[in-house]
């Protein structure tokens, strides 16, 4: 047999195998929502721009509707796009959609453990414990508000040291946001010059960028292959190990000085919990370590990224900054620190903060969900496959523009819009929502009470689109000046 004949036989065999696999997959995943036809192995990835994945998925929802099937490589994923379908899924059927979908960038480290990536009864027990413990240490209360106000003054002091010269705010904002969660989890804050602290923040910032990069998207799409391919995506796992090592050191420090009559932080409470025989089946020291890393990561990155993106937006829109200054001067004045009681009298500031969260959309797809069992939903059968969610542009009059009036009524009063789900919804709603809201309000108003923002270019030339858009919308790096008022 000549070479061409052998090649034809091989091609026929390969094609037959592919057709057989496609037939098996259709049988296994029958009655999924409609969607673009996938190709073998690559799925629908040829139909999207990996650097602008969110934009591509939104365009597909315009063709296939608010619920469609998209193949990440060989894995089907159900995309939910729009407020109505998200409400039906995450709120009306909260229990059924409370599962956690595959997230390969972290799965190798978390192994389904911890408060973000866990599932089942262990996760439910852990979430109840975490909420109760964090509340006991002041989350959502005035005592923690005072701590945030104190940290805001540390942040202002660092900003004053820039003396009006250009600087990148990334690590200043990361330090401030991280120190709040550190107070709850580790019982103390860190100095902004602490080398170990800055190294940890660099690990978190690096992982956030990597998970949203092209490499991160390839890992998400082809996990079994990419885990063996060299590249920067492999740093994600290594960085998590370094964060976990720091947490283990803190756990040992707490263990050596543990006093059940004097609980200092979240770790102390967890150590005491581990001593209780009744909960050993539900939680372990590994669970404690991974939960602490989850809290440290989420509490550091989401608030700081939102503020960093928000300041860049204000540099692009000086007219918005001017209105914020006016409201801050009128309600708070120059002689006292902002507090949460001010928020109800500052509708424009509240609207701007909500619009920053909507426009920046820091975690545009959320962390993947999955159903806890096969269910019927909107006439389709949803098996345990990843489900990802997106905000609904139809609920806002100018969805592609930064417009604070999205959250103001005709009389200038703040108007809530349920279509904004910045902290997700349902059983997986972010447990730090109240904490994040306090941080965003107090940090932003403190900055604008003390400083004017000065861009290094014409505001009209400032690009406020994200640098990359994957798991997160990563704000572009920038420098600016802060001029004392």
Binding residues, as ranges, are 430
- Cα(189)–Cα(182) distance, integer angstroms: 6
- Cα(327)–Cα(421) distance, integer angstroms: 26
CB proximity list for 423: less than 8 A, separation 6 or greater: 429, 430, 433, 436
Sign of CA dihedral 135, 278, 289, 423: negative
- Cα(317)–Cα(462) distance, integer angstroms: 9
Angle, helix 266-274 to helix 285-316, in steps of 10 degrees: 160
Q: Which residues pair with 453 in a beta bridge?
A: 482
The token pair at 46 is: 């040829």
Q: What are phi and psi of 304, to 5 degrees?
A: -65, -40
The token pair at 10 is: 């091989």
Identify the three-state secondary structure at position 75.
strand
CB proximity list for 78: less than 8 A, separation 6 or greater: 32, 33, 67, 68, 69, 70, 382, 385, 386, 387, 388
The token pair at 19 is: 């057709």
- Cα(25)–Cα(29) distance, integer angstroms: 6
Q: Are 203 and 171 in contact (CB under 8 A)?
A: no
- Cα(407)–Cα(346) distance, integer angstroms: 12
CB proximity list for 143: less than 8 A, separation 6 or greater: none
Q: What value, to the nearest 5°, has the Cα angle with vertex 355 and ends 207 and 361?
A: 25
Q: 51 exposed, middle or buried (CB, 10 Å; 0-12, 13-18, 19+)?
A: middle
- Cα(145)–Cα(139) distance, integer angstroms: 8
Which of 68, 41, 27, 139 has its CA nearest to residue 436? Answer: 139
- Matching residue, tokens 């904002």: 173
- Cα(304)–Cα(172) distance, integer angstroms: 9
Side-chain half-sphere CA neighbours of 402 within 13 A: 24
Q: SS3 breakdown of the chain: % helix, strand, coil, rounded to 5?
A: 55, 10, 35
Q: What value, to the nearest 5°, has the Cα angle with vertex 374 and ends 368 and 376?
A: 100
Q: Residue ranges for the binding site for heme?
A: 430
């Amino acid at each position: 047999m000549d070479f061409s004949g052998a090649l034809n036989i091989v091609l026929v065999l390969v094609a037959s195998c592919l057709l057989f696999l496609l037939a098996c997959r259709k049988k296994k995943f029958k009655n999924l929502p409609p969607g673009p036809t996938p190709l073998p192995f690559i799925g629908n990835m040829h139909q999207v721009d990996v650097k602008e994945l969110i934009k591509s998925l939104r365009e597909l929802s315009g063709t296939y509707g608010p619920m469609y099937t998209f193949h990440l490589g060989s894995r089907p994923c159900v995309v939910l796009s729009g407020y109505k379908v998200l409400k039906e899924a995450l709120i009306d059927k909260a229990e059924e959609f409370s599962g956690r979908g595959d997230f390969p960038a972290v799965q190798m480290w978390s192994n389904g453990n911890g408060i973000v990536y866990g599932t089942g009864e262990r996760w439910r027990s852990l979430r109840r414990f975490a909420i109760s413990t964090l509340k006991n240490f002041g989350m959502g209360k005035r005592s923690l508000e005072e701590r945030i106000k104190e940290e805001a003054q540390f942040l202002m002091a660092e900003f004053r040291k820039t003396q009006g010269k250009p600087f990148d705010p990334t690590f200043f904002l990361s330090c401030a946001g991280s120190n709040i969660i550190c107070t709850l989890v580790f019982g103390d804050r860190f100095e902004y010059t602490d080398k170990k602290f800055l190294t940890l923040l660099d690990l978190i910032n690096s992982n956030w960028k990597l998970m949203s990069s092209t490499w991160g998207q390839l890992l998400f799409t082809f996990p079994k292959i990419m885990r063996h391919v060299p590249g920067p995506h492999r740093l994600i796992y290594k960085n998590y190990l370094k964060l976990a090592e720091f947490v283990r050191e803190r756990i040992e420090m707490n263990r050596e000085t543990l006093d059940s009559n004097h609980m200092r932080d979240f770790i102390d409470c967890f150590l005491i919990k581990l001593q209780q025989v009744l909960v050993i089946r539900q939680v372990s020291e590994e669970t404690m370590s991974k939960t602490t890393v989850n809290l440290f990561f989420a509490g550091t990155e989401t608030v700081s990224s939102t503020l960093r993106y928000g300041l860049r937006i204000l540099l692009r829109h000086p007219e918005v900054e001017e209105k914020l200054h006016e409201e801050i001067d009128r309600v708070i004045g120059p002689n006292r620190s902002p507090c949460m009681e001010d928020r109800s009298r500052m509708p424009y500031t509240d609207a701007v903060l909500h619009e920053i969260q909507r426009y920046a959309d820091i975690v545009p797809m959320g962390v993947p969900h999955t159903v806890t069992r096969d269910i019927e939903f909107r006439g389709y059968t949803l098996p345990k496959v990843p489900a990802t969610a997106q905000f609904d542009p139809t609920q806002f009059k100018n969805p592609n523009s930064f417009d604070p009036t999205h959250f103001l009524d005709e009389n200038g009063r703040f108007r809530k819009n349920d279509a904004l789900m910045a902290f997700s919804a349902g059983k997986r709603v972010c447990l730090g929502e109240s904490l994040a809201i306090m941080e965003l309000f107090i940090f932003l108003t403190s900055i604008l009470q003390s400083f004017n923002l000065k861009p290094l270019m014409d505001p009209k030339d400032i690009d406020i689109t994200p640098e990359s858009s994957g798991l997160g919308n990563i704000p572009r790096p920038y420098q600016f000046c802060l001029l004392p008022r």
